Structure 1
Amino acid sequence: MRKYETIFILHPSMDEEAVKAATEKFKGVIENGGGTIDNVDVWGKRKLAYEINKVGEGFYTLINFSANPELPRELDRIFRITDGVIRHIIVKDEK
C-alpha cells in the first residue's frame, strides 16, 4: 500500500450538509476500495488564487490515505463525474 493525499475544492453554493455528504462519499470510495484514511482536514470556505468558471471561492478538503495503486484512478474518475467539484488533485506522498 502506498500513501497518497488528495485535495478537492467544492462549489461555494453548496450548503454545509452537501459538503459533508460529498466528503463522506469520497471517504467511502477510498474505504470501499481497500484503502485506509489517515487524516481528513477540512479547511472550509476559502478564496481561490484565481477564478475558475467565474467562481472566486470554494470549500477545501484535504484527505491523506493509504491505498493500492489502482484506487487513485477510481477516485479521480469519481471526482470528475461528481457535480460540485471545481478542482481536485491526487498525489503520491513521498514521505
Structure 2
Amino acid sequence: MAKVNGKYETIFIVNPNLGEEAIAAIVEKFKTLIEKNGTVESVDDWGKRRMAYEINDLREGYYTLIQFESAPTFPAELDRIYKITDGVMRSIIISRD
C-alpha cells in the first residue's frame, strides 16, 4: 500500500533580536527541511508582529507560515527540530485534512 501524504500548515515565531540574516537563515533551514521531507505549497513571511503576550520578555516576534504536504510521520520530527533550534520561540503544526 502506498503511503498517503497529509496536508499541513506550520507557523513558527523567531526571536526578532537575532537580526535579518539569522532570521532568514532559520526560515530557509525549515523551508529546506520540509522540502526534503515533502512538498512546500506556500511560504508566507508575515514579518515582525506584536505578540498577544510576552515570550522571554519580548513583545514582538518574526512570524512565518508554511503550508506543505508530507508523510504523516514528518510533523512530529519537524516539531522536535523546532524545539531544539535556538531562536525559535514558538511553533505549531496543524493538519489541514
TM range (shorter): over 0.9
TM-score, normalised relative to structure 1 = 0.94
Kindly state the Cα deviation for residue 50 of structure 1 after the two structures are TM-superposed. Answer: 0.5
Deviation at 1:64, TM superposition (A): 0.1
Corresponding residue to 2:60 among 24, 39, 57: 57
Q: Does 1:14 align with 2:33?
A: no
Corresponding residue number in structure 2 for 1:89: 92
1:75 corresponds in structure 2 to: 78
TM-score, normalising length: structure 2: 0.92
* Alignment RMSD: 0.8
Structure number with larger C-alpha Rg:
2
1:26 and 2:37 correspond: no
Q: Deviation string for 1:37-67 (max 9, x for gaps)?
A: 0000000001000011211101000000000
Instruction: Using the aligned pairs only, state the percent identity.
Output: 57
Q: Deviation at 1:28? A: 1.4
* Equivalent-residue separation in structure 1 for 2:9 and 2:43 (angstroms): 10
Structure 2 runs not aligned, ≥5 long? none
Q: 1: CA distance between counterparts of 2:83 and 2:35?
A: 19
Divergent runs of 4+, >3 A: none
- Runs of at least 5 residues in structure 1 that lack an aligned partner in the other structure: none
Alignment partner, residue 40 of structure 1:
43
**2:9 aligned with 1:5:** yes
- The one-letter code matched in structure 2 to 1:25 is K
Measured in 2, the distance between the counterparts of 1:52 and 1:60 equals 14
SS of residue paired to 1:65: strand
Q: Secondary structure at the match of 2:17?
A: coil
